[in-house]
Every structure is written in C-alpha cells, then in structure tokens.
Amino acid sequence: MAGSSGLGRRAAPSPHSARDNAPLYEHIELLFFAYRDFVGDADRLLEDYGFGRAHHRVLHFVNRHPGLTIAALLDILKITKQSLNRVLKELVAKNFVEARAGAVDRRHRQLFATEAGERLASELARVQTRRFAAAFESLGASAKEESARFLLAMIDAPERERVTRLIASGRGRSK
Amino acid sequence: MAGSSGLGRRAAPSPHSARDNAPLYEHIELLFFAYRDFVGDADRLLEDYGFGRAHHRVLHFVNRHPGLTIAALLDILKITKQSLNRVLKELVAKNFVEARAGAVDRRHRQLFATEAGERLASELARVQTRRFAAAFESLGASAKEESARFLLAMIDAPERERVTRLIASGRGRSK
DNA sequence: CGTAATATGTCAACAATGCTGACCTAAATG
DNA sequence: CATTTAGGTCAGCATTGTTGACATATTACG
C-alpha cells in the first residue's frame, strides 16, 4: 500500500522523498470528478436557455469585463474566432450580449452583457459559488485561500501572472 | 495571509459565511484555467497516438481497474454505451485495451490494458502527476492532503463516498 | 425447456464545440 | 492610396456527447 495519502485524514508530515514518481491517481481522479460536477451545475441552468458551455464562457467573461473586445476574448478563451463567433452570434441574437463599435477605434467591437445577460451570468456564478462556499464551510476558514493558491499553482507557470491580472481586473461582484 | 482565522479544521462558521453571496469569481476562473492546462498536458501526448480525451478516460480507468466491465465503466464515466463503444473499439483495434468474456458470466466483457495500453496510461498519468507534484512543491508539505480534501469537497455530496471507494480500489501505482 | 431479463454491440442521425482554410468588409495607418 | 488590422462569414471536418431502434449472446427463472 505504498503511496496512499488518505482522503480524510491528517497525514503525518512525511518528509517527501527526493524522487517520488508515484502517480497521483487520487488527485487526478478527484480533479476529474470535481470539475465534472462543477460544470454540471451550470449545464443544467444553461439548458433552459438553449445555451451550452461555450455560451457560458463567453457570457461570463463579457460580464466580468464590460467593453471587452473580440481579440481580447479570443486571447482569454484560446479558441478560434469562428468558434467564438458561432456562440457570440447567438448570445447577441437572444439579447444576452450587446456589441458596440469601439469608441476610439471603430474597427473593434466592444462587448457588454445586457440586463438579461447580467442576470444569467449572475445566476450561473451563483450556483458555482455555492459549490465552493459549501466546500469551504466544510473545510475550515483557511481553505478559501489555500484552494486559490493550489489552483493557481496548477496553471501553466508562464500563464499565472496573466491570469492573476485578468482575475484582479474583473468587475467585482454582481448586485 | 489575510483572513485566516483558525488552524483547526471544521472551524465555526465565520461571521458572514451564512449569507455571503459574493460570487467567487476568482475561484471559478482559477478552476477553469487550471483544468484546461491540466487536460492540455494529456492532449498533447494523445495526439501522437490519434486518440482524444475520451480515449484517455477509458484507458485510464481500465488501467486502474483491470477486469472492469462495460457497465461499471459506463457508471464511472456517465456517458452512453454508444459513446463509450466508439472509443473503446478504437482502443481495442489499436491494441491498447483487450476485452475478454467475463470469467463467471460470459455476457460481461472484462477490460484490460495491454502492455502498450499500460505504457501509455502511465505516461499520461506521469505528465499530470508532474503538474500536481510541482504545485505541491511550491505550496508546502500540507498542500497534497489539503488539495485532496478540497477537491473531494467539490464533488457532489452524494457521490463522494462512491468516488472515495472507487479511488481506493484502484490499482496502486505504476513502476 | 422455453421465455424473459441482462449485457453488450451496432446503425443512423443529430447537437455542441473545437478546428482549418479561404475570402470579405470596414476602418485605421502610413 | 495601399496596407494593415479587426472582425465576419462560408464551407467542411473531427471529436464526443446524445436518442432511438434493433440484433445477439448468455444467463436466470418458472
């Protein structure tokens, strides 16, 4: 039973061996299941609107960064403009997102969540927040900051700075 | 450092935890980016074999649970048998997975990773483990157990027990 | 034994969301 | 004015999920 780390216990502080190559199956699988349930929350909501996960991501970041341009959004999502456009068109058609010509450079489109868009984005954030909040409540006060540090450390090192800035620059909270 | 108010687990609910509605945008976005990079590791490897994420999941769980039946795998992955069969057929055709008739009930198929399958599964687990290991190294000794508790707490409550058992029953470690 | 239930396989079609490549317009820039 | 930049669009394709219907083999049961 080498390498067991135990799910619910306080492990003794093991002096971690210099070259421990044991696959962290536990963590790999926990992240898989956790993410699946995490996005599942939103999926159920989105169904009522005829939207998918791609719509969610676009709406989320537009709501968080009013005035975002297409190029900036593409850079966040790392998808092609064709993939983005497909879902963005639907969000605009259904009046959840509005695209205005850029104030300074009219070639740009600046994206904004409409009132309906804000409402849906908030609702989506709310169900996902609930999952985090429930976890933190069961884990203790430090879990909130610890988990943020953990998740950041799981992001590609060269991206961390960018992500940190992106998150910090987002619009604070809904209502 | 800010906001930590107690080292013990199971801390008493902090002042506004009961009705704190502020969306946890930071965590939501960190999890999104972290998961994207996490699966990205495997995606790059899989490309060389002409496999996708669906193949990865099947190969992973078959390797972890030799002798797994189709029904059990469907229950883990929560996809339809048609979706599973599409990728499973390819894994068998390319000789990464083997399906034998069940020993006791010949209606069952028991799935096993071939030697090539084990090799690929190990390689995939290795790159994903590396990401976790690097994170834990930067975060300190307790992060490994803390993150496992956090991830488990993010899973649907009624599923946690099942997942815990599933993980515990998996084949230990590769060489 | 014979029928029913079970475990699996398969065909066809469709939906969501990625991708590439090509080509178009509008606006800014030099 | 020519070029570059930002974006839109069309066509087609790949992956991976879905339903629904039907086929086959094997086991279980009355």
Report if residue B20 sits inside a domain.
Answer: no
- What digits encode the pLDDT tens for the residues A115-127? 999 999 999 999 9
pLDDT for the residue A54: 98
Q: pLDDT tens digit string along B70-116?
A: 999 999 999 999 999 999 999 999 999 999 999 899 999 999 999 99
Say if B19 falls within a structural domain. Answer: no
Q: Which domain, by its residues, includes B101?
A: 26-169
Report whether pLDDT(A2) > 50.
no
A70 touches strand D (CB under 7 A): yes
Is B71 contained in some domain? yes
The pair phi, psi for residue B154, each rounded to 5°, is -85, -10
Q: What is the pLDDT of residues B126-160, one digit of tens each?
A: 999 999 999 999 999 899 999 999 999 999 999 99
Please state the length of chain B: 175
Please give the Cα distance from B91 to B85 (Å, whole number): 10
In Å, how far from its chain's centre is CA B153?
A: 15
Number of domains within chain B: 1
B156/A contact by beta carbon, under 8 A: yes
Q: Cβ of A72 < 7 Å from strand C?
A: no
pLDDT of residue B65: 98
Let me know if residue B4 belongs to a domain: no
Nearest chain B residue (CA) to A153: B135
Residue B90 maps to a domain: yes
Which chain A residues contact residue B149 at CB under 8 A? 7-8, 139, 143
Which CATH number characterizes residue B79's domain? 1.10.10.10
Query: By the 8 A CB rule, do A120 and A48 touch?
Result: no
- The pLDDT value given to residue B172: 74
Residue whose tokens read 């990728």:
B87
User: What is the spatial distance, in angstroms and rounded to an integer, between the CA atom of B122 and the C1' atom of D15?
Assistant: 23
In a domain, residue B161? The reply is yes
Q: Tell me which chain A residue has its CA closest to the CA of residue B135.
A: A153
Q: Does residue A123 contact residue A47 with C-beta atoms inside 8 Å?
A: no
Say if A101 is an interface residue toward chain B (CB within 8 Å).
no
Give per-residue pLDDT as tens, B2-40: 444 433 444 445 555 445 779 999 999 999 999 999 999
Residue A21 binned pLDDT confidence (cut-offs 50, 70, 90): confident
In chain B, DSSP assigns E strands to 68-69, 97-101, 109-113
CA-based nearest residue in chain B for residue A1: B172
More reliable by pLDDT, A47 or B13? A47
Q: What per-residue confidence (pLDDT) applies to B166?
A: 97
**pLDDT of B62 over the 90 cut:** yes
* A6 neighbors B145 (Cβ within 8 angstroms): yes
Residue B10 lies inside a defined structural domain of this protein: no
Interface A-B: count of C-beta contacts within 8 A: 214
Would an 8 Å CB–CB cutoff place B93 in contact with chain A?
Answer: no
CB < 7 A to strand D: residues 113-172, chain B: none
Please report the pLDDT score of residue A174 as a whole number: 45
pLDDT at B5: 41
| Residue at B5 is within a domain | no
